[in-house]
């Protein structure tokens, strides 16, 4: 679940703020990054730590995004996992467990406070947005939630040379998810098949795609 939430948040970040939103520093870089963005590809490293500072999860792999709502997030290594959003459903393939879970994409997106990054007015009403200046050569932007019913208390986004460098999400229980990006490519050429998923033969499928519009996530 932690991996899925982080995936959704990255998608919201990647499609950025509207081009007419006034901004400066990291916020200006976020605006410019989203302006004219139709898709992207990148490599990532992700780590999740608990309230005690201990490592809960670690992963790396590749991500591909296409406007308005398509993404493919592939974890590599010892515990491979593939998450594909096709615009209607989110498919989660746990290779080790030989299991596929399908969920309604609309319900999943609603769970993420970073959905507000596509709505500048909503951003201001739900978050305190603060420029934190330059840290380790990157411009840092802080989003602190104004409400109690949100997935994360605070989100930190860093940019360098107009490209996202890292994203950190912290919740009320002390859980911290950090994603670092590399080899970011804006508007790459990507095949449509990249954002399609068919469960492999022999795997267990949890969920009913035909009921995705009414099922709870």
pLDDT in tens, 152-203: 788 888 888 888 888 888 888 889 999 899 998 889 999 999 999 999 999 9
pLDDT band at 11, cuts 50/70/90? low
Domain range spanning residue 161? 2-211
Residue 56 forms part of a structural domain: yes
Query: How many distinct structural domains can be found in the chain?
Result: 1
181: CATH: 2.50.20.10
pLDDT of amino acid 216: 41
Residue 216 forms part of a structural domain: no
Strand order in the sheet with 127-135: 127-135, 138-145, 154-160, 163-170, 176-186, 39-49, 55-66, 70-75, 81-85, 89-94, 99-104, 204-206
pLDDT of amino acid 62: 94
Tell me whether strands 81-85 and 39-49 are parallel, antiparallel or unpaired.
unpaired
pTM: 0.77
Residue 9 forms part of a structural domain: yes
């Amino acid at each position: 679940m932690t991996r899925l939430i982080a995936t959704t948040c990255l998608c919201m970040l990647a499609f950025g703020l509207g081009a007419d939103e006034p901004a400066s520093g990291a916020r200006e870089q976020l605006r410019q990054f989203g302006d004219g963005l139709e898709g992207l590809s990148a490599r990532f490293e992700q780590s999740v730590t608990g309230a005690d500072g201990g490592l809960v999860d670690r992963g790396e792999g590749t991500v591909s995004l296409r406007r308005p709502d398509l993404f493919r997030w592939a974890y590599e290594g010892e515990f491979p996992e593939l998450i594909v959003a096709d615009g209607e459903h989110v498919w989660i393939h746990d290779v080790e467990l030989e299991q596929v879970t399908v969920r309604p994409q609309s319900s999943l997106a609603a769970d993420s406070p970073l959905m507000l990054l596509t709505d500048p007015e909503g951003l201001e009403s739900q978050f305190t947005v603060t420029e934190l200046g330059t840290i380790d050569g990157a411009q840092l932007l802080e989003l602190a939630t104004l409400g109690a019913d949100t997935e994360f208390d605070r989100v930190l986004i860093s940019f360098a040379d107009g490209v996202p460098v890292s994203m950190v999400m912290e919740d009320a229980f002390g859980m911290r998810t950090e994603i670092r990006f590399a080899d970011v490519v804006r508007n790459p050429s990507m095949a449509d098949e990249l954002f399609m998923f068919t469960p492999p033969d022999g795997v267990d499928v949890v969920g009913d795609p035909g009921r995705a519009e009414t099922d709870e996530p």
